Amino acid sequence: MAFINMKKKEVQVKVVYYGPGRGGKTSNLEYIYKKFRERIQTEMITVKTHGDRTLFFDFLPFDIGKINGYDVKIQLYTVPGQVKYNATRRLVLRGVDGIVFVADSMVIRKDKNILSIKNLEENLTDYKKSISKIPLVIQYNKIDLAEQGIPVLSFEEMEKDLNSVLKAPSFSASAITGVNVVQTMKKIIAMTIASIKQELK
């Protein structure tokens, strides 16, 4: 839940990148960090294993300037996608304001995507939040792999698998080449801010 500091005129908003293991959540944040290096004053925090898999979370604070006179601080987090880390995944979701679901376009990851979005729904329910109400953007990552001849799911098929009921805004993207990474982030920020804007007076 966003915290509005009336005294400092500052808002802190929590956006979490969720999705199956190796889907590209950390890569999204790394791209954003590289791209906006001069605007982000601090280091990106990552808590990971030797093998580069996220163990707990990544954290990247992103200041977007003023809205209605309030300094808006967006806190970007990723969760660990591996199935066995559900306890830590749930911890990171605490107080979440907006979610980017990063799906993996590789054909072999079809079922993992579906399981992961179900798991997101369950974990949100634990916090008495609904996946259909919280600001949500779905990203179909790794589309660049098609050029290398690796079988990827079509946009339509992924929409059918993951977004037929939710009807959330969705993007095809590549966290490696950067296609639609910033657009995904801008969309979730806009939606999340819109959801609390009435309270910024």
Ligand X SMILES: Nc1nc2c(ncn2[C@@H]2O[C@H](COP(=O)(O)OP(=O)(O)OP(=O)(O)O)[C@@H](O)[C@H]2O)c(=O)[nH]1
Out of 11, 13, 25, 103, point to the residue binding ligand X (CB under 6 A): 25
Tokens standing for 21?
Answer: 């293991």
* Packing angle of the helix pair 181-196, 25-35 (nearest 10 deg): 90
Which positions lie near Mg ion, rule CB under 5 A?
25-26, 54
53 touches ligand X by CB under 6 A: yes
Measured from the Cβ of residue 188, the count of other Cβ atoms closer than 10 Å reads: 27
Q: How far is the CB of 4 from another protein (least distance, A)?
A: 4
Lookup: tokens for 125: 């329910």
Q: Which does 174 bind (CB under 5 to 8 A by kind): ligand X, Mg ion, another protein, none?
A: ligand X
Query: Which residues does residue 74 pair with via DSSP β-bridges, in sequence order?
Result: 13, 62
The residue (of 78 and 180) whose beta carbon lies closer to another protein is 78
Candidate segments 18-26, 115-123, 126-134, 186-194, binder of ligand X by CB under 6 A: 18-26
Q: How far is residue 32's CA from residue 38's CA, in Å, rounded to a whole number?
A: 11
| Per-residue contact string for residues 164-183; x = within reach of ligand X by CB under 6 A | ----------xxx-------
User: How far apart, in whole angstroms, are the C-alpha atoms of residue 63 and residue 138?
Assistant: 23
Q: How far apart are alpha carbons 87 and 70 in whole angstroms?
A: 34
CB-based closest residue to ligand X: 81
| DSSP output for 95-125 | T--EEEEEEE-BGGGHHHHHHHHHHHHHHHH
d(CA 58, CA 60): 7
| β-sheet bridge partners, residue 59 | 45, 77
Q: Which one, 93 or 143, has the nearer CB to another protein?
A: 93
Residue that is written with structure tokens 């609390």 in the block: 196
| Nearest distance in Å: CB 138, another protein | 21
**22, interface contact from another protein, Mg ion, ligand X, none, CB < 5-8 Å by kind:** ligand X
Judged by the rule CB under 8 A, the positions of this chain that interact with another protein are: 1-7, 11-12, 14, 42-43, 45, 47, 56-57, 59, 61, 73, 75, 77, 87-88, 91-92, 94-97, 127, 195-196, 199
Contacts to ligand X by CB under 6 A: 19, 21-27, 52-54, 78, 80-82, 141-142, 144-145, 174-176
